[in-house]
Amino acid sequence: MPQPTFRINFVTGASRRHMPEIEALSGLPDRVAALFAGQPAAWARQAPEGEWNPVRVLGHLVAYAQVSRENLDRMSHMTDPIIKRVDDEGENERHHWESQSADRLLDGLAEAIGKSVALLTELPDASWGRPGQHPEDGRRSIRQQAFAMAAHFREHIAQIEALRA
């Protein structure tokens, strides 16, 4: 899938200095999809004892992307909101990730990340410093939240790469 070209909306005052964070997030769905490309369906459901299989990791990433999008939205509109954590086990019970196809989960991931990218693309420059309260890490800005989101994805991408090896 070709990478979209992002243009800053000068009406909102969003500046180019945040484009690296936006571009890092926008490329994540393709990076994850590339790990699943050409792999047999059975591979996606196998893992060493005590580890998540690739489909389970993918389900977690979908839930994380959805909660992160909600957090970014709340931080951009509310005064110092609590940053929600992902209830991973609860989300897994509700959505039965391991019974879903990798393609369906990849679509959900692309949609959730796309919503975050759209929000951040339109976010005024001054709003990137708006804070929220993370339960463990304390106060963090939208910029820090976007950076943490990309870092979390990179950790799980490495996890899937290890399972693929």
pLDDT at 7: 53
Specify the 3-state DSSP secondary structure of 48: coil
pLDDT tens per residue across span 4-51: 655 555 455 555 778 888 998 999 999 999 999 999 988 999 988 989
Asked whether 72 and 120 are in contact (CB, 8 A), the reply is yes
Q: Which domains can be identified in the chain, with CATH numbers?
A: 16-164 (1.20.120.450)
pLDDT at 72: 96
Give me the numbers of helices (H) and strands (E) for the chain, helices first please.
6, 2
Asked whether 126 and 12 are in contact (CB, 8 A), the reply is no
pLDDT tens per residue across span 55-70: 999 999 999 999 999 9
State the first-to-last Cα distance of the chain, in angstroms, to the nearest integer: 24
Exposed/middle/buried for residue 128 (C-beta within 10 Å: 0-12, 13-18, 19+): buried
- pLDDT above 70: percentage of residues in the chain: 90
